[in-house]
A and B are shown apart, each in its own frame.
Chain A
């Protein structure tokens, strides 16, 4: 079965640069969630979208923005990168508005040097 696809899988950036992470949800899934996971930590919810509209907002820094497009894929844009932004970024998708059965992608590992 098709899963959540994230690209790129690995990304290396310098401080103060920008980065764009992409997420392609499971076919027919209309809801996308973004999470950040630091080393040895639990995933932290950043933001979610349903039907191309922002639905819930978590601990997303003002330097980050995201959107969901007409084909339901989503992009997380990160600017003025800091060393502390180094983490695994997961996208999850689900069907419908209820926060159930969130299936995670393989993640993008961002390293900020």
Chain B
């Protein structure tokens, strides 16, 4: 089955700086890569996703890049703000003929220092 590794487990950055979280996946058949933000005790919220036919996607301060050859994808947050503090999960799945479940990374606790 799919295995997703995520680094770092904790990331502390100064407000206004950029944050980068990296993930690798093992199954070359995976073709859908979402990122979720989860605040303590709350639901995971989909913040951005990318499919394997795209190398990069941006949405305001958030961007995701995908390197299919290296089986590697990253989340970039620019101009970080205090409300960006949360746990971020990457995930991978095969989006094809079935409702395949997501395989998540272990999460990154992002701390924005004022």
Question: In the bound complex, what is the Cα–Cα distance between A100 and B53 (angstroms)?
Answer: 14
Residues of B close to A94: CB separation below 8 A: 99
- Least CB distance from B30 to A in Å reads 10
Q: For the complex, count residues of B whose C-beta is within 8 A of A.
A: 26
B-facing mask of A86-113, CB < 8 A → 1, else 0? Answer: 0000100010011111111111000000
Q: Which range contains the number of A residues in contact with the other chain?
A: 20 to 34
B-facing mask of A43-70, CB < 8 A → 1, else 0? Answer: 1111111100001101000000000000
Given contacts A45-B101, A45-B102, contact A101 B96 (CB under 8 A): no
Choose one: A41, A47, A102, A106; the contact of B102 (CB below 8 Å).
Answer: A102
Residues of B close to A101: CB separation below 8 A: 34, 46, 49
Whether the Cβ atoms of A102 and B43 lie closer than 8 Å is no
B52 interface residue (CB < 8 Å to A): no
Whether the Cβ atoms of A103 and B101 lie closer than 8 Å is no
Q: A58-B101, A100-B32 are in contact. List 7 more A-B contacts (CB 8 A).
A: A42-B106, A56-B100, A94-B99, A98-B96, A99-B93, A102-B46, A106-B42
